[in-house]
Amino acid sequence: MAMTKKGIERSVRIITRIYEEYESTLANYETNPYTKEDLVLNLLTDLLHHCKANEISFMCELDRAREHFTDERKEAEGKKKTVNKKKAPVGNNPVDDFLYKPLKR
């Protein structure tokens, strides 16, 4: 599916609605005002918890999202896609192992 500038704008509107709902939900639990950066930090942290609880590799999905983002931007600008076949590292670090472990599908 080709991503146009209009498609990117639609994606931004969707995530903005999710972001606003998340901000509203946090406001129900805490009284501290959040900066936009704080909200992104909390959202990503909660996504990490979600991924760990559901045995999803956060970093693998983040890598895939970065590739999608780059491809969508290039498509919208009429440029050719880039294929990145970089493998995620898995080693002796338990945090890296959690973040990069292969997905169970």
pLDDT at 48: 92
Least confidently predicted of 11-20, 53-62, 87-96: 87-96
Taking the whole predicted model, whether its pTM rises above 0.75 is answered as no
Average pLDDT over residues 25-30: 76
Rounded to the nearest 10 degrees, how much is the dihedral formed by the CA atoms of 39, 41, 47, 53?
-120
Distance, in Å, from the CA atom of 11 to the CA atom of 93, rounded to the nearest integer, reads 35
Count of domains observed in the chain = 1
SS (H, E, C) 65-81: HHHHHHHHHHHHCCCCC
- For residue 105, is it within any domain? no
**Residue among 68, 58, 47 at smallest CA distance from 97:** 58
Amino acid at 20: E
Q: What pLDDT does residue 67 have?
A: 93
Distance CA 101, CA 87 (A): 11
Q: Which domain holds residue 42?
A: 5-100
